[in-house]
Amino acid sequence: MTTIIHLVDDTTPGGVMRVIEHVQSAAGLGHLGRHSVVMIPKTGRGPTRIHGDVIVSHLTMNWRRLPWLIQLRAAHATTPMVHVEHSYTAGFLRHNVPHPARFMTMVRVAFSLFDRVVPVSDTQAYWVLDKGLADPSQITTIPSAVDVSLFDSIPSATGPIKVIGAFGRLEPQKGFDVLIRAMRASPRQDLQLHIFGQGSEREALTSLAGADPRICFGGFVPEPAKAMASVDAVAMPSRWEAYGLVALEARAAGRMLLASPLDGLNDHIAAGAHPVRDNSVRGWSETLTALDRPDIAKLDRARSDANAASARFAQSWTLLLHDLLAPEDKAQAA
């Protein structure tokens, strides 16, 4: 049986591990082979010999990791190697990289070591190609997917929008500070903002919300679908987002999705999400103030598209792995 090794540098619950778990369990992918996860230390140094038929990297690329990656590539000259880019986007570059030229050089070198580079959204793929980070022949775009069946079982929110939910880590990336300021600036007293998640910004965000009775924090959510069912719409004011699994879940649940028009969230906007002008406090406040009822036909189309994501994900990975495997191994994986 074909062995597919997934390299990770963070096994805490989150988007990357959820996608890998979906690869391992999704209907339509089980026939591809046996999946195994190998943890690579964040220091960048890992084993240079990895026993597998295909190596799939989910690592965060940096200068410190490059020497080991070069050794890994040299030790597996004939083994197909794939890198899934979960982190870097135009938004990430804008908010986190003080020396863009140096950073781009590192990414180009890292990407050159792989047979294929997998952006997780169309918008991210356009950015990779526009910046010349990889050769077009290397690129295979596979939008991320997870099991959304629990979200699909939730009745669509078709009435007036009164409760807006925000889901995710309480970190600067998610832009919840912008959303809180926008809510406080809105004159709508009939709206509520429920923020679900935990993280390093909890105290700062709580302070920012002040005594506004419309804003509350739900903390860690052990049952995300149940929390999603308690809101009428979902807001994603992210500063960068390679794809956005919460957006996929919101669409699958039949919730109106309000999203910043950047990075992978643009893919969700193309599928029916509502773009928020310039992702500013003013833009979000105007959007929140103008909320009424969702467009039911648009919700239905977005929901249908989200629920087809897993099948597209499985088909794309199947085609990629079959293309990479040697002819004698293709029959084994089929």
What would the pLDDT profile of 240-281 be if each residue is shown by its tens digit? 999 999 999 999 999 999 999 999 999 999 999 999 988 999
Q: How far is CA 132 from CA 60, 62, 124, 172, in A?
A: 19, 17, 12, 28
Q: Is the pLDDT of residue 327 over 60?
A: no
12 compared with 305, residue with greater pLDDT: 305
> Mean pLDDT over residues 282-296, rounded?
96
Q: Does 3.30.230.10 match the CATH number of domain 149-307?
A: no
Q: Is the pLDDT of residue 18 over 80?
A: yes
Q: Please report the pLDDT score of residue 246 as a whole number.
A: 97
Tokens of 177: 């500070």
CATH of domain 3-146+309-333: 3.40.50.2000
Average pLDDT, the chain: 93
Q: Please report the pLDDT score of residue 330 as a whole number.
A: 45
Within this chain, domains 3-146+309-333 and 149-307 share the same CATH topology = yes
Q: Is the pLDDT of residue 20 over 70?
A: yes
Q: Give the start-to-end residue ranges of the domains of the chain.
A: 3-146+309-333, 149-307
* Long-range pairs for 101-109: beta carbons < 8 A, 24 or more residues apart: 104/131, 104/133, 106/61, 106/62, 106/63, 106/66, 107/61, 107/133, 108/132, 108/133, 108/134, 109/66
